[in-house]
Amino acid sequence: MNTKSILSIIAALSALFIAGCGSTPKPVAHEIKITVDKSLENTSLQIDIIGANAVSDLPKWQSYSITDYWQPGNATRRDTDRITLDYGRGKPSAQTVAATDAKWKRWLDQGASNVVIIADLPGIAADRGGAADPRRLILSLDAKAWKKDKKAPLEILVQESGLRILTPPATEKKGFKLF
């Protein structure tokens, strides 16, 4: 092999390495603020927040039946390392999970790249896959995924029609996926 060929290979490998480093997501803990719309303030409901790694967890959560998940005694829900927020009469309509909550360390140590938010919303019974189910929201934990001050929370609104992220996403870059 001549010097020119070796330099070409090194240049190509360097370009791949630099491109890979620039697009590798860096998952971080985010403060999450979930607010229930006024129309649901007196409705008893629960919201679960789950850290998910891209290899073994995310594919399951993208297709898992939300109706089954909320059935009494559901083994998947029982066995999931989650944070549960309760809403209804006498409970705050806005609740926050701090970025310093101990669950974040466990989730990130287990390779979580996303957070899955699942709502037990009355009146929505038909299961749909992925983001088509309004009771499920899957968000990236990438540090660069969101347009917000580093200390500002990811804000989510719970409406009768489903979950809605209020925090605007960062502009997608080539090779960067938000969800």
Residue 175 covered by a domain:
no
Residue 148 covered by a domain:
yes
Q: Is the pLDDT of residue 112 over 70?
A: yes
Q: Is the pLDDT of residue 26 over 70?
A: yes
Could you tell me if 45 and 121 are in contact, meaning their C-beta atoms sit under 8 angstroms apart? yes
Whole-number average pLDDT of the chain = 85
How many domains would you assign to the chain?
1
Residue 17 covered by a domain:
no
Full-model pTM: 0.81
Q: Is the pLDDT of residue 18 over 70?
A: no
Residue 2 covered by a domain:
no
pLDDT at site 51? 97
pLDDT at site 126? 78
CATH number, domain of 127, equals: 2.60.40.4150
pLDDT at site 150? 75
Give the residue, 25 or 146, on which the prediction is more confident: 146
Q: What is the mean pLDDT of residues 48-62?
A: 94
Residue 147 covered by a domain:
yes
Could you tell me if 133 and 139 are in contact, meaning their C-beta atoms sit under 8 angstroms apart? no
Residue 121 lies in domain: 26-165
DSSP 8-state assignment for residue 36: E
Residue 173 covered by a domain:
no
Residue 41 covered by a domain:
yes
Residue 13 covered by a domain:
no
Could you tell me if 123 and 43 are in contact, meaning their C-beta atoms sit under 8 angstroms apart? no
